Amino acid sequence: MRTYESLVDALDDLRKRGYEADFELHLNCLYCSDLDLRLYEEEFNIDEVYRFKGDSNQRDNAVVYALTSPTGVKGTVVNGPGAFE
């Protein structure tokens, strides 16, 4: 796995590597509004995970998930602490 200095660097590189869809966490799925696509837990693989810690505030923490669906859609999800717990 790679190392990134910032969240922006990670997202830029992942996009260059084909992770173009932007997903957001919904109650029981991941949703990409640009594609009007819902992926449920069994419908994607998490390929890479990157954690970023804020210097002084825990609210600045973020986690980036790079994921791929069985149909080949590649995208990212960015969440704060505890979002997938």
CA distance 81 to 17: 25
- Res 9 pLDDT > 50: yes
Q: Which residue's structure tokens are 């990670």?
A: 10
Q: How many residues comprise the chain?
A: 85
The side-by-side arrangement of strands in the sheet containing 21-25 is 37-39, 30-32, 21-25, 74-79, 62-68, 45-52
pLDDT-based confidence at residue 84 (cuts at 50, 70, 90): very low
- Has this prediction a pTM greater than 0.75? yes
pLDDT-based confidence at residue 60 (cuts at 50, 70, 90): low
Name the least confident of 6-10, 25-29, 56-60, 67-71: 56-60
The stretch 39-44 carries a mean pLDDT of 94
CA distance 41 to 15: 22
Is 62 within 8 Å of 52 (Cβ atoms)? Answer: yes
- Res 34 pLDDT > 90: yes
